[in-house]
Structure 1
Amino acid sequence: MTAGNLDSTHEPSGEARDGEAAAAARAEPGLVLISLSGQPALAVMPLGPEPVDIGRGLGELAEHPDHMMSRRHAHVAYRGGQFVITDLDSRNGTWIDGVAVQGSRSAMPGAVVRFGHSLFLCVSDIRPYRLLGVRVDDSRVEGPALQQTLRTVAQLGQAGRTLFISGGSGAGKESIAQAFHRASPQRSGPFVAVNCAAIPEGIAERLLFGARKGAFSGANQDSEGYIEAAHGGTLFLDEIADLDSTVQGKLLRVIESGELLAVGASRPRKVQFGVCSATHKDLRALVEASRFRADLYFRIGMPQVSVPPLRQRREEIPWLIYKAVQSITPGLKVDVSLIEACVLREWPGNVRELQAEVNTAALTARGAGEDRVTARQLRAGAGAAISAPLSETDAQPAAVPPKAGKRTEPATEGEPPSRAQMMAALLESDGNISAAARAVSVHRTQFRRLLARYNIDLEKLRRVGKV
């Protein structure tokens, strides 16, 4: 199959295009402050047709002083869907995606910009950040994308008894299931979470459905199963793709009939419960491959919500870092270099991976007698994308950002590469993202953002094009 076949995309309808155009017309581009001198923060700075000066004490920054920022540090303009950032000979430099700016450089939406010791996101629409902000409590950090997902889940919880949750490992699927339970009519009942991947082979049936005394050798008394324990509440089946195939049919019968027959029982008992299920796998693809029952999938697979990955919720990262560090050593400071390094990484393991790596970095800093955690304490491979091999840069421990004027990664100059150029580079590099990014002269992080922008399915490209 040729590259031309790989480039095919579904064209939206006229109404869909009109809706997208209307939404784009209403969008307000701007910068979102996410970290100030190592502390989590949130402030929005809209960009109009005229360039905006960035500096200590100017505009929104009057309430957020950064003493490492010059009074006239840089100016930013938004033109043709891109951010044009010009450093004004600032004392401590301007950086885009970890690359020093000399003069003017353009950046795509999603780029991470550092002025002094403050970090900003370039966003094409600041309205969600202005309206929703970042919600933080003892156990949760919720940016606009996650809050919108939770709002949808609450509506679904009020209206139905099933929910299917997709999302990567560590993205927070169980917290979504708990939100569904809290919004449901059965909120006063129990919430029972079951990790199907952790159930030992051969005992899924009795763990789920329970067993009666004498049903098998060693059954000296009746035992309650997870489904019976969830009666009147919600059963959360995490990683349901790994559920033993021999019990999938029986589970479907319980859900549809509301009758539970325990192992060794002669009569069923009535049960009532809501069902949340989740997996990081493509459950529909497993159905098509006859590795998951289609009838069960069509019963539990809708409605569906997808938990946005952490790389799409980067405004949450400074808050997660701060909470993780304080849990190790209250009062231990966080250096901007650590936050910048974390915000620029992919985090395939999402929140779980970030917290584990930051905990390790904090322990390393404390053990060395340091008063702050820097990028030097972050493990070399922390947050690295699994689909691409580590580059030589990734193989070294992350350091504090270099001095202005020194480039550490390929920079983007002028217009970004086209979709066709990116696909050609991927084909030439056998799907190696680092090599493809170098071929089109963009940073690896920006290359991944362009993949999303151009709707390039890398895995499909690899399968169909045999990359």
Structure 2
Amino acid sequence: MEQDGSTLKPSGIRGKDAEGAERIPGLLRLFAPGKAMAVALRLPGGELELGRGAPALGEAQDPRMSRRHARIHFDGRRFWVTDLGSQNGTFVDGEPVPAETPREVQRVIRMGDSLFVPCADVGPLEQQGVVTRDGFVRGPAVQGLLDEVSRAARLGFPLHIHGESGTGKEGVARAFHQHGPRSTGPFVAVNCAAIPQTIAERLLFGARKGAYSGAEADAQGYLQAADGGTLFLDEVVELDLAVQAKLLRALETKEVLSLGAAKPKLVDILICSASNKDLRGLVAAGKLREDLYFRIGRPEVALPPLRQRPEELALLIQREVQQVAPALGLHLSLVEACLLRPWPGNIRELLVETRSAIQAALMQGAQRVEARHLSPSAGTAFGSGSTPPPPSLESREPPNKEAPSRARPLESEERTRIEEALRQNGGNVAATARALGMHRTQLRRLLERHAIAVSDGNEPD
């Protein structure tokens, strides 16, 4: 489970972050009976025992938890879970754990109808919580980033946003506009990757009547449309080098020369750009002009991917359910399944797949959205090196009984991918799981259910 990008020191329970502040290891409680949340639980002395009536759970008690359900321990580097003989069992990363047997947790813990995620530092969540503003769910990491964005906007600086596809870069750009000196002006968002190179210059800078065949009237460009406001150039690196040169001149002179025009027009705009690629690497590769990089590439903020913001996930899913189908309930199995997946498409993918799960629940006449309504491929990596995760977890496993297998036979090509990945990684299950974009417990389950052999000496670790 990726947390805040830092590594805790193995010599002690607490460490220091990059700024020297003390880190507080603990748990994030993301789901209580029927309700998404984001609550920080500290591990006093590196250990915490949870169960029905535990003071740490506050008012959101869980009747399906035993009084002494499980113990969570942090050894300075890893989190361990020990079931204390609970009636309904404890599940670590989607797998039941035997009583009194410590099990390392990577992603999520299920006890009763509650979900917990291990966290290297719960301090930021304690201090800032998770808020919903302007239609966006924002955890501590994004709140801190938006503070930087606001400062850059107030000072009139340009801003570059780096982040994976679907992380919410346009939302950050809109916040940049709202906190800047031109907030009352227009906000013009341009997806540069979607502009055909043959008409990029015309769309960005405009054209006068008669400038080319078919130009029967003056056409305003994006830069003129953003006059007095903010121009957001998403994936600006996709522009042709010649267009980059003209863009640079316009930004430096604050003058835009339309196609066919004799004189430039003054514009007053604030620039915000974004990309999921490394700008310096593109400069080195000759795909981005160095002078344009220095004009738009600083200051830069990095928007973390959804997998590093687990405190937002359950609340995002709950909000989507409430907006699309308020009568439906949200079951913890859906949230747990989503926490176990990497979501390469980030928030955009999560919301699309959640809507699809809601539609499946409605079509089946279900009372709540569960993991079984989620597509097996949702939230997993694309490409030949990926395979859908195993079937959804049972909504509720009966105590001391193994849930019946719901696996479907693997298609031959999927089986071939797994076997090929095993060969490429020397039969090492953990390395193979990483290559396939899944957790090793999920791969173990596939290996066992479908009798895929692992060579001697390379059994699942």
TM, length-normalised to structure 2: 0.82
State which of 148, 154, 161 in structure 2 corresponds to 1:152: 148
1:388 Cα deviation after fit: 7.6
Aligned to 1:163: 159
Aligned to 2:353: 357
The answer on 1:234 being equivalent to 2:230 is: yes
Aligned to 2:198: 202
1-side partners of 2:399 and 2:438: how far apart?
A: 20
Where do residues 176-195 of structure 1 align in structure 2 (5 Å cutoff)? 176-195=172-191
Aligned to 1:309: 305
1:106 Cα deviation after fit: 4.2
State which of 90, 113, 116 in structure 2 corresponds to 1:117: 113
Structure 1 letter corresponding to 2:131: R
The answer on 1:254 being equivalent to 2:247 is: no
**1:8-64: per-residue Cα shift (whole Å, max 9, x none)?**
xxxxxxxxxxx9578677211111211112311122221122642201221132311
Aligned to 1:225: 221
1:246 Cα deviation after fit: 2.8
- Shift in alpha-carbon separation, 1:329–1:162, aligned structure 2, 3 A: same
Structure 2 letter corresponding to 1:384: T
1-side partners of 2:403 and 2:342: how far apart?
A: 21
1:221 Cα deviation after fit: 1.4
1-side partners of 2:335 and 2:309: how far apart?
A: 14
Aligned to 1:318: 314
1:220 Cα deviation after fit: 1.5
- Shift in alpha-carbon separation, 1:356–1:92, aligned structure 2, 3 A: same
Aligned to 1:52: 48
Aligned to 1:394: 389
Aligned to 2:75: 79
2-side partners of 1:155 and 1:447: how far apart?
A: 44
Aligned to 2:86: 90
The answer on 1:299 being equivalent to 2:302 is: no
State which of 84, 104, 117 in structure 1 corresponds to 2:101: 104
Q: Any stretches of 5+ residues in structure 2 without a counterpart?
A: 1-14, 405-420, 443-461
Structure 2 letter corresponding to 1:267: K
2-side partners of 1:99 and 1:385: how far apart?
A: 21
The answer on 1:288 being equivalent to 2:267 is: no
The answer on 1:279 being equivalent to 2:275 is: yes
1:124 Cα deviation after fit: 1.9
2-side partners of 1:320 and 1:256: how far apart?
A: 40
Look up the SS of the partner of 2:439 in the other structure.
helix
Look up the SS of the partner of 1:85 in the other structure.
strand
- Shift in alpha-carbon separation, 1:361–1:233, aligned structure 2, 3 A: same
Structure 2 letter corresponding to 1:246: A
The answer on 1:129 being equivalent to 2:109 is: no
Structure ranking higher on relative contact order (CA contacts 8 Å, 6+ apart): 1
Structure 1 letter corresponding to 2:90: T
2-side partners of 1:107 and 1:81: how far apart?
A: 11
1:439 Cα deviation after fit: 8.6
Aligned to 1:42: 38
Where do residues 402-421 of structure 1 align in structure 2 (5 Å cutoff)? none
Structure 2 letter corresponding to 1:335: H
2-side partners of 1:45 and 1:35: how far apart?
A: 13
Aligned to 2:448: none
Structure 2 letter corresponding to 1:107: E
- Shift in alpha-carbon separation, 1:24–1:33, aligned structure 2, 3 A: farther
2-side partners of 1:324 and 1:251: how far apart?
A: 39
Aligned to 2:325: 329
2-side partners of 1:44 and 1:395: how far apart?
A: 30
Aligned to 1:412: none
State which of 156, 171, 175 in structure 2 corresponds to 1:175: 171
1:186 Cα deviation after fit: 1.7
1:81 Cα deviation after fit: 2.6
- Shift in alpha-carbon separation, 1:390–1:396, aligned structure 2, 3 A: farther
Look up the SS of the partner of 1:43 in the other structure.
strand
Look up the SS of the partner of 1:356 in the other structure.
helix
The answer on 1:344 being equivalent to 2:340 is: yes
Contact 1:163 1:301 in 2 (8 A): yes
Tell which deviates more after alignment, 211-220 or 308-317. Answer: 211-220
Tell which deviates more after alignment, 267-276 or 59-68. Answer: 59-68
1:87 Cα deviation after fit: 0.9
1-side partners of 2:380 and 2:428: how far apart?
A: 12
Contact 2:190 2:233 in 1 (8 A): yes
2-side partners of 1:390 and 1:403: how far apart?
A: 32
- Shift in alpha-carbon separation, 1:289–1:430, aligned structure 2, 3 A: farther
Structure 2 letter corresponding to 1:39: K
1:359 Cα deviation after fit: 0.3
1-side partners of 2:431 and 2:34: how far apart?
A: 30
- Shift in alpha-carbon separation, 1:22–1:104, aligned structure 2, 3 A: farther
Q: Any stretches of 5+ residues in structure 1 without a counterpart?
A: 1-18, 409-426, 449-467
1-side partners of 2:382 and 2:309: how far apart?
A: 19
Where do residues 435-450 of structure 1 align in structure 2 (5 Å cutoff)? 435-437=429-431, 444-445=438-439
**1:281-304: per-residue Cα shift (whole Å, max 9, x none)?**
233222222222222122111111
1-side partners of 2:433 and 2:212: how far apart?
A: 64
1:438 Cα deviation after fit: 5.9
Structure 2 letter corresponding to 1:302: R
Contact 1:49 1:77 in 2 (8 A): no
1-side partners of 2:171 and 2:396: how far apart?
A: 35
The count of corresponding residues between Structure 1 and Structure 2 is 410
Contact 1:76 1:85 in 2 (8 A): yes
* Identity level (%): 45
1:244 Cα deviation after fit: 3.0
**1:349-400: per-residue Cα shift (whole Å, max 9, x none)?**
0000000001001100100100011111110110013478345x71545544
